[in-house]
Structure formats: C-alpha cells, structure tokens
Amino acid sequence: MNRQIFLIICSSLLLSASAEFIAIPYGSCGEGFEDLSCTIESVTVQECDIIEKKFCELIRGESYQMNMTFIPQFEGSDLSLKAYAIINGKELPFEEMNSKACDYMECPIKKGVQQDYVFNVNVDMLKPRGKFNVRWLMKQGNENRCCFTNKFKIA
C-alpha cells in the first residue's frame, strides 16, 4: 500500500476515534407525553457546535453520531424510535431513519438499567437550512415510552 494513502487512512481513523461528543440541551415533549416510562439522562452529538446556547448546528452533507442515555421503567425488545421535525406546528417525520431501536442498542432492555441508544444522523444536501425543534419518540408497540425534544440548526 502506498505510504501516503496509509497515513491518510490512519489519521482519518484517529480523528474519528477522538471526535468530541457534546452534551446538547433537551426538553420534554410537552402535552400528551406526560405518562412516559423512562428518564433521559443525557443527549450528546459528535462534533456538534452549540450556538445561541440552545441549537446544535449541523452542516448539510455531513454525518453525526448521536447518543441518548436513558433509564427505562419497562422491559422489552419490540421498540421503535422515530424523529419528527416540528416546523410551523406540524410534525414532519424523518422518513429515511431506521426506526428499529434494537438495531442501535442492546436488547432486550431491562427495567431500571441504563441504556445507550447510539446512531448516526445523516444531514443530506436536500435538508432545508434553518432552525427547528426535533421530537425523538421511542415506542413499544403502540405505547409511548420515551420522548425528548431538542433544537437543531441546519447550515
């Protein structure tokens, strides 16, 4: 292998391995989501710039690793997680997102045992620029189990 290519591959791996995860602000999902059965401990995004003390700024064409740490008060393995951009009061689902939660965390989950849900957020070039809220909703069958919101800015 060409030495220059080998060095580029190694430095790229080092950069991705040492990427910093930033804790981002998050809030409750509001009305209609009061009876949830989990506690969100933290939400972090790889290399996220926090602007105006509340928005996680993402760049179109980039991919970011996101981690939600939570403690469930339920058990199970038939879980889904969906994301919805809330724009002008309407929920627009992230259609391209794989909603099978157990693809991104250890299942079955156990009541009272901390879990990490780790996945990639791909910001394609077709995403509109701007600031908006995102609702992240985990379900078990038809029951809402975990929910949080946060603010993103797409640049």
Q: How confident is the model at residue 2 (pLDDT cuts 50, 70, 90)?
A: very low
pLDDT one-digit tens code per residue, 33-61? 888 999 999 999 998 888 877 899 999 99
Does 102 have pLDDT greater than 60?
A: yes
Nearest alpha carbon to residue 155 among 66, 62, 58, 87: 58
The distance of Cα 131 from the centroid of its chain, to the nearest Å, equals 16
Pull the structure tokens for residue 9.
């591959």
For the chain, which residues make up each domain, given as ranges? 21-154
DSSP for 26-74 reads -B---TT--S--EEEEEEEEETPEEETTTEEEE-TT-EEEEEEEEEESS
- Annotation: CATH topology of 21-154: Immunoglobulin-like (2.60.40)
Predicted pLDDT at 140: 93
Nearest alpha carbon to residue 150 among 27, 5, 7: 27
Predicted pLDDT at 7: 31
